[in-house]
A and B are shown apart, each in its own frame.
Chain A
Amino acid sequence: MSTFPADGLEPLPSLSDLSSDAGRKDCCASVYGHREEGWLLGDELDPGGEATTRRALELAAVRRGDRLLDVACGHGASALLAAREVGCRVVGLEYGGRAVQEATASARTAGLQERVSFRRGDAEALPFEAESFDAVLCECSLCTFPDKARAARELRRVLRPGGRLALSDVVVEDPRLSAELRGPLAVIACVGAALPRSGYERLLADAGLPVLAVESRGEDAALLARRVHDRLRGARLLGVERMEGARLATADAIELVARAREAIRAGALGYAIFIAGD
């Protein structure tokens, strides 16, 4: 039996730290910045993957030459897609430093370094001047931010007047979602701190970004959860006892995802794209 080495990764928070906001941010960035777990969980960690990204950019009417900010961009796949396929000028912002390095390397490999740059930063204190972007993309990450209202106000601040926010995120439609899925461990699985559709609409409206369109992507959520479940089962079967990035026993992770799948089937959990702007 083995565990993945955590060489070169950022220091991990302890399990108890997960109840603190800073601890959650570190952990989330670490999980999604972990290469081996990336393999096991699939290259596309967002429901629907590239198809959802394309759809979000399309719904937000993002065009060639637009200045686009990708908040919590991970390894930069969506930022690169927007630069490559739409022709945007993109800045990718990510909390995890290692992911920023790898995303920067990917941009060079793809020959897109002129149009895409990556930097470290916190979504709750964006390191950009007001009104500096035509559009902002934020995929499957707002639900993990400890202070969502503050993050939403920051997104509003950096958008130019008439600019569009394309937000895709986990939607919790059932307030009775089980306590385990709501717990601190679940935050990193993009489930525990998600809002209902009306919650996102209110959050964004309060920040000055009224929601203009919503598209449900529930099928994508079901497929992603199924794939993560399969890959975690594969990881356990191949002898991986712990998800080091998540500081989580593989068996517990499997249980968590199995519950999430049940909730998706029951309609308590889903995924949606929100387009917002003034």
Chain B
Amino acid sequence: MSTPAIPEQRPESGGSLGRTESICPRCKRLLEAELLDQGGRVMLSRTCPDHGRFEAVVYGDAARYREIQRFDKPGTAPLERQTEVVGGCPHDCGICPEHAQHTCLGIIEVNTACNLDCPICFADSGTGPRGHGFSLSLAQVESMLDAFVAAEGEPEAVQLSGGEPSIHPEILEMLAAAKQRRIPLVMLNTNGIRLARDPRFAPALAEIGVHVYLQFDGFDAATQVAIRGRELTAEKLRALERCAEAGVTVSLAAAVERGINEHEVGAILTFGVEHPAVTGVFFQPVTHSGRFRIDADPLDKLTNPDVIEAICAQLPDWFRADDFVPVPCCSPTCRSATFALYDREDLIPLPRLVDVEQYLDYVSNRAVPDLAVREALEGLWSAKAAGGSAPVAARLDCIACATGMPPELRDVAARGFMVVIQDFQDPYTLDVRKLRKCCVAEIAPDGRLIPFCAYNSVGYREQVRAEQAIRNGAP
């Protein structure tokens, strides 16, 4: 006699995954929308009365999409909200009373000028004279930082971006102003050209305590030409060398586009874990908003599970798909992350040593063994985390301690290498329900905290740019 095994429970496939709202990519009008499982991928579908039907892939793996909804953590209110509900989401950002989440990461774009003219730029920045360009003053940035502190109390992470923020004449003062507000993780989002050319820049960042978020899309000349307009490897390597010498920690940020550099994700990760300055890698499927002079088909968009699959296929000895755990603060489909331990011989993702999914599951009726561990994991699986930052090291240590990891192991465990895959929404993929729980905000010069994907998709970027251009007396 033999008893059959209990069949594995698989979520059903096909059909609707629920209703939401989206916008028309042309006229930005708010539209009823539906999420559908089509051939195992999640599609967002809606019809504009003037411009017709629009569909886009929003998640490349429908089964995983269903499964990870259990990581959807209930939102936390910010201390302050800056706007009223007038036109309805997403036209009242922000943060309006309908928003369901506070802000983990604030972004300040200090300028629109750049020393590159990339074919892909959601900020539509560049080198030439721009009709609607701006460059913020130190006083403006200080008031924006104050607005962020007022909303969050003790914000943990801010990123100065652009344009190319490193060419702003007061960038060091701006970074120092963020540090003075006791924000532990102050990041500079840069293409690295100034770091490579100016030997004094990395030591200056080290003195302030800045973490560099370095655009790094791959090694192939074709990749760099397609995404950045020219080959940049020598400058990137020089920038990293200078950061290593100065003791500046770096996260590599790779824009990943289907058909351009998916094949390089493994090489970027391997390079990152081996480089002394690099403490993490962020993979970002390219956002099809602002400027993108490439063929981008919304029906074939690269999404998080596609990047995870590429990583696992290229580095099978290091990673499996379940090493990448969704970040619970935002929508679980926005961002997946892992922390890895590495010693030049082998690499082990942290979820193989600690059952992270069990702690970050907010739906299944399972007891959480230790709430302090959950809290620490929530701080690690978060938009406010970057490899090597002090709060990240403290949280890794907490987990090592609370899970009974022997003391001898804890110091090493605190040196986690962070790998993040984060998909930002564009006018084709914008899901308003997800947007309401966004925890990454563009801080506007008037102190509004505008969810990043709304800023890029709904028209806020253009609005802020026009306001600043008038303020600066630009033509």
Binding site for B on A (CB under 8 A): 2, 4, 36, 39, 59, 212-216, 227, 230-231, 233-240
Contact = CB atoms under 8 A, between A and B. Distances in A.
A238 B341 contact: yes
B409 interface: yes
Nearest to B404: A39
Interface of B: 1-3, 5, 341-343, 345-348, 352-353, 403-406, 408-409, 412-413
Nearest to B408: A2
20 contacts: A4-B408, A36-B406, A39-B404, A59-B3, A213-B3, A214-B2, A215-B3, A215-B5, A227-B352, A230-B348, A230-B353, A231-B353, A233-B348, A234-B352, A236-B346, A237-B343, A237-B346, A237-B347, A237-B348, A240-B408
Most buried by B among A59, A215, A235, A237: A237
B3 A238 contact: no
Given A227-B352, A233-B346, A240 B2 contact: no
A142 B353 CA distance: 28
Contacts of A59: 3
A213 B1 contact: yes
B416 to A, nearest CB: 12
Contacts of B404: 39
A25 to B, nearest CB: 26
Contacts of A239: 408-409, 412
Interface of B is mostly: loop
Given A230-B353, A231-B352, A238 B413 contact: yes
A240 B409 contact: yes
Nearest to B345: A237
A43 to B, nearest CB: 10
A237 B342 contact: yes
B406 A39 contact: yes
B101 to A, nearest CB: 33
Contacts of B406: 4, 36, 39
Most buried by A among B5, B343, B408: B408
A227 B355 CA distance: 11
Contacts of A230: 348, 352-353
Nearest to B406: A36
Contacts of A236: 346
A258 to B, nearest CB: 11
Given A4-B408, A234-B352, A237-B412, 12 more contacts: A39-B406, A215-B3, A227-B352, A230-B348, A231-B353, A234-B353, A237-B341, A237-B345, A237-B346, A237-B347, A237-B348, A238-B409
Contacts of B408: 2, 4, 238-240
A216 B413 CA distance: 37
A234 B351 CA distance: 11
A59 B347 CA distance: 41
A36 to B, nearest CB: 5
B412 A238 contact: yes
B342 A212 contact: no
B440 to A, nearest CB: 31
Contacts of B346: 233, 236-237
